[in-house]
Amino acid sequence: MKIFIDGQFYAKENAKISVFDHGLLYGDGIFEGIRFYNGGVYKLPEHIRRLYDSARAIHLNIGMTPEEMTQATLATIRENDLHDGYIRLLVTRGAGGLGLNPYLCENASVIIIASTIQLYPKEKYDHGLKLASCATRRPAPAALSPSVKSLNYLNNVMAKVECLNAGADEGLMLNEQGYVAECTGDNIFVIRDRVVSTPPISAGALNGITRNAIIGLIRDELKFEVREENLTRYEIFTADECFLTGTAAEVIPGVELDGRDIGDGKPGPVTVKCMKLFKASTISCATPVYR
Ligand code: PMP
């Protein structure tokens, strides 16, 4: 495995960064998770755009143009001779002092790892995930904006600990007002009476690239209404169907919340259609790696 760090490729065992990097010391940095399928990168421009939005929001100068970042991402896949897999792209504040001051970090560090990912086993796609509500809330927008895909995932990690300890697969995270925001690593959708609903970004959901792709596919292909509206746990308990979306998880059914079946406790027909539609769309919305 060859890993890109600041313009050069390193073998896995030599891919190292400074212990003074503020990404490590303070979680000061941003990232993207990106998928490539059959030699094409899925929604690469969208991921690059979100990365640069995150950078702007935390006042981080990446030191590379979006075009250079795009080329570095493609080059990393080529260097590893991969056709299907997952990219983890990180930009850290870089090495600095032990104090918080980010302006003492001279250069951001860019790390690109091309690998594979299997977030959930196949049987979870066939039978669905069990969800559990978490006491850990999504941060309020006036704290760290939940739209920033930052290296600070500790509150999601705490929520994940809660849901795993409760015997569930994924954790449902609410915002400070008690409305559903998303899950620890995925956006959430519910379906009732042919209407699909998902929390708005303003409820504390990440502006998920899979979420946006699925909203488009449902509107264009299934001709169902999609609403971005505040949801509470009640709307999930009483939904006909539920599914989650994310780059790593793709589209995966949610069949239980807090020990109660959602719908009949099995992946629903609309969910299954969305899973198929998503799979088909990964072929068409791709930036070719090998020309
Ligand atoms: N919410 C959170 C908290 C995430 O970390 C992610 C990405 N894993 C998502 C939602 C899904 O976003 P995307 O579809 O862009 O991967």
Q: How far is the CA of 95 from the centre of ligand 1 (A)?
A: 27
**DSSP annotation of 40:** E
> Is 216 a pocket residue for ligand 1 (Cβ < 6 Å)?
no
CA of 30 to the centre of ligand 1 (A): 13
Tell me, in angstroms, the distance from the centre of ligand 1 to residue 205's CA: 9
Taking Cα atoms as reference points, which of 89, 23, 29, 100 lies closest to residue 60? 29
Q: Nearest C-alpha to atom 12 of ligand 1 is from which residue?
A: 208
The SS3 call for residue 48 is helix
Residue 119 is predicted with a pLDDT of 84
Distance CA 13, CA 141 (A): 38
Give the span between the Cα atoms of 289 and 267, in whole angstroms.
Answer: 34
Mean pLDDT of the region 111-139 = 95
**C-alpha distance from residue 214 to each of 207, 244, 266, 273 (Å):** 12, 10, 20, 11
- Over the chain, what is the mean pLDDT? 97
How sure is the predictor about 284, in pLDDT bands with cuts at 50, 70 and 90? confident
pLDDT at residue number 70 = 98
User: Under 8 Å CB-to-CB from 26, ≥6 apart: which residues?
Assistant: 93, 100
Q: Is 245 in the pocket of ligand 1 (CB under 6 A)?
A: yes
Biggest distance spanned by C-alpha atoms of the chain: 56
Residue 285, pLDDT > 80, answer no
- Span 176-216, pLDDT tens digits: 999 999 999 999 999 999 999 999 999 999 999 999 999 99
Closest by CA to 265, choosing from 249, 242, 244, is 242
The Cα 220–Cα 215 span in angstroms is 9
Check residue 289 and report its DSSP letter: S
DSSP state of 202: G
Nearest CA, atom 2, ligand 1 = 185
Please name which of 235, 237, 233, 243 lies closest in space to residue 262, comparing C-alpha atoms: 237
In this structure, the residue with its CA closest to atom 3 of ligand 1 is 185
What pLDDT is recorded for position 166?
Answer: 97
Catalytic residue positions, numbered: 149
pLDDT at 100: 96
